[in-house]
Amino acid sequence: MGIVRILWLLGAALLLAACPKPDEIDRPLPPLDREGEKKQSDLPPAIPAKLEVERVAPDADHKPSARSPIVDIMSSEIKRSMDVLSQQPIPVYYLSYQVYDNRRVVIETDGGALLTFTDDTERFLDTEVRVGSAKLDNRHQLSNEQEDAINAPMPRKSIMPFGTDELSIRHHLWLDTDRRYREAALALRRVLVDKSVTAQEDSPPDFAIARAEEYIESPASLDFDEDMWIKRARDCSKRAFRGVATRATCRLDFELRTVYFVNSEGTVLQMVRPSALMSVSVGVKADDGMPLGRVEQRFARTPAGLPDDAELDRIIARVTSDLNALHRAPVVDPYVGPAILEGRAAGVFFHEVFGHRIEGHRQKQRTSGQTFASKVGEEIMPQWLTVYDDPTLLTANGAPLNGFYRFDDEGVRAQRAILVERGVLKGFIMGRNPIAGFSRSNGHGRKEPGRNAVSRQGNLVVSVSRSVQGDELERALIAEVKRQGKPFGMVFSDISGGFTNTSRFLPQAFKVNPVMAYRVYPDGRRELVRGVDIVGTPLTALGSIMLASREVETFNGMCGAESGWVPVSASAPSLLLKSLEVERGFKGVDRPPVLPPPSIEREPNSAQNHDRRGN
């Protein structure tokens, strides 16, 4: 199955697509604009973009005395199981338990009324059992992709009792270990048969050994004033329900996740992740049937860190005025030409176009396009560009980063993974699935509860050593428009998400979905357009980056892939690309409601916001 990865704003839906068509595609690489071939005067000024980050050592705040009794129960049950299972004819060589304690509060309002209020606490268990050896184990890829999917551990969150009652916790650990051991043993038998009946080349080991870690974080609590936040959300959605919007929701997601991880290598982790998210969303259907929406989200570690009233007012004003403008905006025609991706849009662009292709396990999958597998040491971007992923970054330019974590879901310490250094490909985002030349994890094995971890992005950072001021970037765009003889250039200020295909059965293409896209004419005039998708192929797109801005912006969101949804961020300066292709996006076929809206009480100032409903 080909996998399509998507990055959405937090809370959006998952989409997977299948594409079984075994036919390898070999594509020649496009030429790059090499700096060395340019005159020094053509290069941007040697001033780095402004990026101040706060970094946290994974084991900072280690407090052994805060260790939960659950961790000890998990450790002793692992030992008890390993003593027996490592001696079986099909031996277990690795066993891990991961227990999630999750409290999640959701407050959702619509047009001033409370739609949902939930305050749930859940506890789940994920057990990983590996049998055979690290060289060849039950997770070894089968030659048939569909068979391989069936051979993988069944995605499932297992039951784990609340509290610290030793017997009930031990019992459920034992049950799940037994189930997963059986499953793993069956899978390894299938692997061995597959190896014996198919021609397979030697491949790197199936699992990377990692050092034992110990980190204990103090427990935390999720505190918030329920009545106050419900009132704020209610007021927010009431005020956002204006202009052309037929839907205006404000949603708060408060979460406190405590993760306990223990494995047979001796790693013991207890980690706390608090988060708070505020989403303001408005929508309407355009007259031609195109669904239009604007979402603004703010991420913080705690509810107290979310925007204050003044900032919320600005957010509401922004989404409602953007929606009104989108409603009037013309649908764009296909276009190829110079374009600016503004900060957050550039971050998402890099996440999709580059980040997913640099995930280590994809370089090993037989069905993956492996765009960068053979490019290590080669220049793939301008020399003033460096790209890395660093989950240990807590903030960037003062803003909290959603992809922060201390240890990954495979018990490995989070580390900065240098991906591109001065334009040259250096490495990959690695979990514990080794690939040729990269035998170790750099702490990026990630998953949502119930899934199997693979290498995933955390905090992706695009760092530039040469940059210009934002207004200079737009001037450069206009100059490039004129140079290419184009009628206009494009600026993308917000991208809601996108997907990229890494399966070799389909073109190695990407598509991202800008929400706010503008035509910029040679006279400097901007015109908002809608119904735009950016499409292209990664090597071409990355090779056409011309210039970066001094200002860096951060996108915080959730990324969905085969290991589920994980929190991520992407920070980047605005980028000018020499050529970007734009096509008409999916328009939808539903026409707007037949009847005009019923007489609905609107926000008092709504008339000035193009209210076409009357009262």
Partner 1 sequence: MKRIVCITAFAAALAVAAAASARTSPGPMSGPSKAVTSEILDAIALEIERAKSALRIAGALPPYFIGHKLTEVEVSDTVASLGSTTWKKDRHFVTLDARVHVGDYKLDNSNFVIANAERTDGLATLQLPIEATPRIARRVAWLVTDAAYKEALEQIRAKIDTRRAGGTSDPDRPSHTRRAAFVKQEPVEVPALESNDALDRRARAISRVFRGIAHVRDSRVAFTSFLERRWYINSEGTRAHDTRRVSGVIIVATAQADDGQELAVFYSRYGHTAKDLPGDSELLAEARNLAKKLDAIRKAPVVDNYIGPVLFEGGGAVDIVRTTLAPHLGGTPLPEGLSAAEAKQFGGGLSDDTVGLRVLSPLLSVTDDPTSHRSGRRALIGGFQIDDEGVPAQRVEVVRDGFLKTLLIGRTPSKKLRTSNGHARRSAPGGVYRGTATNLFISGKRGLSRKQLVGKLLAEARAQGLPYALIIRRLDDAAMTAAPELSARELLHLYQSTDREAPPIAIEASRVYPDGREELVRGVQLRPVRLREWEDILAVGKKANVFNFLASGQLNIAHKINGVADNGAVPSAGIESAVVTPDLLFRKLQVVRSTAGRRGATAVSRPR
Distance in angstroms (rounded) separating the CA atoms of residues 267 and 214: 6
157 lines the binding site for partner 1 (CB under 8 A): yes
User: What is residue 523's DSSP assignment?
Assistant: T
**Shortest Å distance, C-beta 119 to partner 1:** 8
Of residues 75, 98, 177, 320, which one binds partner 1 by CB under 8 A? 177
Distance in angstroms (rounded) separating the CA atoms of residues 358 and 455: 9
With contacts defined by CB under 8 A, name the span among 159-167, 348-356, 528-536, 562-570 that binds partner 1: 159-167
Kindly tell me which of 70 and 381 has the beta carbon lying closer to partner 1. 70
Of residues 62, 67, 103, 156, which one binds partner 1 by CB under 8 A? 156
Distance in angstroms (rounded) separating the CA atoms of residues 272 and 100: 10
Count Cα neighbours of 595 within 13 Å in the Cβ-side half-sphere: 3
With contacts defined by CB under 8 A, name the span among 462-470, 526-534, 554-562, 594-602 that binds partner 1: 594-602
Task: Tell which positions 436-455 bind partner 1, by CB under 8 A.
Answer: 450
Whether 490 and 582 have beta carbons less than 8 Å apart is answered as: yes
Of residues 101, 126, 137, 183, which one binds partner 1 by CB under 8 A? 183
Q: Residue 435: beta bridge partners?
A: 438
Whether 459 and 404 have beta carbons less than 8 Å apart is answered as: yes
Kindly tell me which of 65 and 118 has the beta carbon lying closer to partner 1. 118
Kindly tell me which of 167 and 199 has the beta carbon lying closer to partner 1. 167
Of residues 163, 219, 289, 524, which one binds partner 1 by CB under 8 A? 163
**Shortest Å distance, C-beta 160 to partner 1:** 7
Of residues 471, 523, 595, 612, which one binds partner 1 by CB under 8 A? 595
Kindly tell me which of 28 and 89 has the beta carbon lying closer to partner 1. 89
**Shortest Å distance, C-beta 483 to partner 1:** 49
Task: Tell which positions 73-112 bind partner 1, by CB under 8 A.
Answer: 77, 80-81, 84-85, 88, 109-112
598 lines the binding site for partner 1 (CB under 8 A): yes
Q: Which of 574, 586, 375, 364 has its CA nearest to residue 474?
A: 574
597 lines the binding site for partner 1 (CB under 8 A): yes
**Total of residues contacting partner 1 (CB under 8 A):** 64
With contacts defined by CB under 8 A, name the span among 21-29, 513-521, 569-577, 585-593 that binds partner 1: 585-593
Distance in angstroms (rounded) separating the CA atoms of residues 475 and 472: 5
DSSP per-residue letters across 194-224: HHHHS-------SS------EEEPPP-----
Amino acid at 280: V
Kindly tell me which of 148 and 474 has the beta carbon lying closer to partner 1. 148
With contacts defined by CB under 8 A, name the span among 27-35, 160-168, 209-217, 466-474 that binds partner 1: 160-168
422 lines the binding site for partner 1 (CB under 8 A): no
With contacts defined by CB under 8 A, name the span among 17-25, 183-191, 353-361, 490-498 that binds partner 1: 183-191
Distance in angstroms (rounded) separating the CA atoms of residues 306 and 107: 14
3-class secondary structure per residue, 68-86: CHHHHHHHHHHHHHHHHHC
- Report the SS3 class of residue 448: coil
What x/- string results for residues 542 through 581 when contact with partner 1 is judged by CB under 8 A?
A: ----------------------------------------
Q: Residue 569: beta bridge partners?
A: 459, 556
Q: Which of 1, 7, 78 has its CA nearest to residue 568?
A: 7
Phi, psi angles (nearest 5°) of residue 315: -65, -45
Q: Residue 99: beta bridge partners?
A: 125, 260
Of residues 52, 120, 201, 308, which one binds partner 1 by CB under 8 A? 120
Amino acid at 259: V
Kindly tell me which of 112 and 498 has the beta carbon lying closer to partner 1. 112
> How does 553-569 read in b/e, with b if 16+ C-beta sit within 10 Å?
bbbbbbbbbbbbbbbbb
Structure tokens belonging to residue 558:
């959730």
255 lines the binding site for partner 1 (CB under 8 A): no
**Shortest Å distance, C-beta 314 to partner 1:** 25
Structure tokens belonging to residue 586:
């999916």
143 lines the binding site for partner 1 (CB under 8 A): no
The distance between the two most distant Cα atoms of the chain, rounded to a whole number of Å, is 77
Alpha helices (runs of H) in 467-582, residue ranges in sequence order? 470-484, 538-543
Distance in angstroms (rounded) separating the CA atoms of residues 249 and 241: 8
With contacts defined by CB under 8 A, name the span among 184-192, 287-295, 472-480, 536-544 that binds partner 1: 184-192
Contact footprint for partner 1 (CB under 8 A): 77, 80-81, 84-85, 88, 109-118, 120-124, 149-152, 154, 156-163, 165, 167-175, 177-179, 181-183, 186-187, 190, 246, 450, 590-591, 593-595, 597-598, 600-601
